[in-house]
């Protein structure tokens, strides 16, 4: 009863104060009518307190988030399933779902319930703008009487996780020159151990040349199969992300967030085309992943932070060893950074580099300049396909510039 009395709203307290004042005034003036009116004003909130305190009711709630892992800037649907039974559960429920400020802050809404047993769904939508790991909840429910004299708060302590990965930009098709072809000829299957098999045929896809149909395999499998042109390279990609603080510009529009989004886009791009992908940073070990484990790499990128390291020996040489493709996303402020990656990836079949102009990032220029442009030029002289990136370049534009550079090198 004492805790319920403490849940009186400002309206309930005002009725109590007014009722007590009118009762005392009526007794002082000797007016029975005023005493009766004051007693009624006192009785209403007290009756609400007694009714809620002795009600036998339960309220349950569950939350579902769809999807549970989502790129930044994508809609997330949150569904709440509320149910109640017993006396005192009918009326209007005020809900408050606690959310981090990065998700827009708390959500408040009301639902109407009718009857001794009820079930009420509630839905709302989120658009997370920043990557990271978040918890939705806890949910609080306020139950009151029909007159608004009382508001009892019930909190459900369960929370629901939400993983917001970096924004993934479409990068188009794979290009020729050892990184794939426009028709997707270098796309491979992954065996149970995550490595490409040596199959010489694949399933027919719309747009394939009918002259390349492999009729013997088609007759055996009952499905159209076409010949695959193997290029003799391992279909694996190593993505290196430079996370050192002193080579990046921080902030939501800084070069570091751009680099993380670019790494996620490259990983999703190659994994979606059937390649075996590995992510390396200067503070973490390598993460091998097949297509069905792409979410593990994206989770790492959702949580990655800038490091305090300043040395040029970023990763052990054996970690970077690859006979496939190496994609390096580095800051142009350290001329030695790409040199170390170059020494560790001499055996790679194709080496690609995005060099970020961190010093001039806020100017919004295209193409990068200064140290970043010089570093990209030096990388090209050592056999890399490299392009400098400025603050005005999108991930898609930088990747297309890199594709043009790689194609030009292949022609040479």
Name the nearest CA neighbour of 400 among 373, 366, 370, 377. Answer: 366
What was the pLDDT predicted at 148? 79
Distance of CA 186 to the CA centre of its chain: 30
What was the pLDDT predicted at 182? 37
Cβ neighbours of residue 93 closer than 8 Å, sequence gap 6 or more? 59, 82, 110, 111, 112, 113, 120, 141, 142, 143
Q: Which of the two residues, 9 and 164, has the higher pLDDT score?
A: 164
Res. 338 pLDDT band, cuts 50 70 90: confident
Res. 21 pLDDT band, cuts 50 70 90: very high
The span from the CA of 116 to the CA of 98, in Å, is 28
Res. 174 pLDDT band, cuts 50 70 90: low
Q: Are 104 and 162 in contact (CB under 8 A)?
A: no
Q: Which CATH architecture group holds 57-165?
A: Sandwich (2.60)
Torsion sign across C-alpha atoms 314, 316, 319, 325:
positive
Q: Which residue has the tokens 């990983």?
A: 267
Q: What is the mean pLDDT of residues 169-195?
A: 48
Which range (131-140, 142-151, 197-206, 213-222) has the least confidence? 197-206
Angle at which helix 395-411 crosses helix 255-272, to 10 degrees, equals: 60
390: tokens are 């400025």
Q: Which residue has the tokens 């005005």?
A: 392
The span from the CA of 375 to the CA of 397, in Å, is 19
Provide the CB-side half-sphere exposure for 298 (13 A, CA): 27
For residues 14, 17, 20, 23, the Cα torsion angle rounded to the nearest 10 degrees is -60
Chain mean pLDDT for the chain: 80
Looking at domain 236-411, does it have CATH number 1.20.58? no
Tally of CB atoms within 10 A around 225: 22
């Amino acid at each position: 009863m004492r805790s319920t009395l403490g849940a009186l709203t400002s309206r309930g307290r005002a009725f109590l104060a007014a009722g007590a004042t009118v009762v005392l005034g009526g007794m002082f003036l000797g007016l029975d009518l005023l005493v009766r009116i004051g007693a009624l004003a006192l009785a209403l909130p007290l009756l609400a307190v007694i009714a809620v305190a002795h009600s036998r009711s339960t309220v349950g709630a569950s939350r579902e988030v769809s999807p549970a892992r989502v790129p930044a800037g994508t809609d997330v649907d949150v569904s709440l399933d509320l149910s109640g039974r017993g006396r005192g559960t009918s009326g209007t429920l005020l809900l408050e779902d606690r959310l981090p400020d990065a998700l827009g802050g708390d959500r408040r809404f009301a639902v109407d319930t009718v009857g001794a047993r009820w079930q009420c769904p509630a839905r709302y939508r989120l658009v997370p703008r920043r990557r990271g790991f978040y918890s939705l909840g806890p949910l609080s429910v306020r139950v009151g009487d029909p007159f608004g004299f009382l508001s009892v708060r019930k909190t459900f302590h369960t929370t629901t996780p939400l993983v917001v990965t970096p924004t993934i930009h479409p990068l188009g098709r794979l290009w020729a020159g050892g990184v794939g072809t426009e028709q997707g000829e270098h796309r491979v299957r992954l065996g149970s151990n995550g490595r490409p098999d040596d199959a010489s045929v694949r399933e027919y896809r719309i747009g394939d040349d009918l002259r390349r149909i492999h009729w013997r395999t088609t007759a055996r499998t009952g499905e159209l199969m076409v010949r695959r042109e193997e290029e003799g390279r391992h279909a694996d990609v190593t993505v290196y992300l430079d996370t050192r603080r002193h080579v990046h510009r921080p902030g939501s529009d800084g070069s570091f967030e751009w680099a993380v989004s670019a790494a996620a886009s490259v990983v999703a791009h190659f994994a979606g085309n059937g390649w075996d992908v590995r992510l390396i940073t200067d503070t973490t070990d390598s993460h091998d992943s097949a297509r069905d484990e792409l979410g593990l790499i994206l989770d790492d990128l959702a949580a990655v932070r800038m490091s305090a390291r300043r040395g040029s020996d970023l990763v052990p040489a054996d970690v970077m060893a690859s006979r496939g493709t190496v994609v390096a996303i580095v800051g142009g402020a350290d001329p030695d950074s790409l040199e170390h990656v170059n020494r560790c990836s001499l055996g790679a079949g194709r080496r690609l580099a995005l060099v970020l102009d961190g010093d001039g990032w806020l100017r919004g220029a295209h193409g990068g300049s200064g140290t970043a442009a010089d570093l990209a030029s030096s990388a090209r002289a050592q056999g890399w396909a490299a392009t400098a990136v400025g603050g005005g370049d999108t991930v898609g534009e930088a990747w297309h510039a890199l594709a043009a550079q790689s194609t030009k090198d292949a022609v040479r």
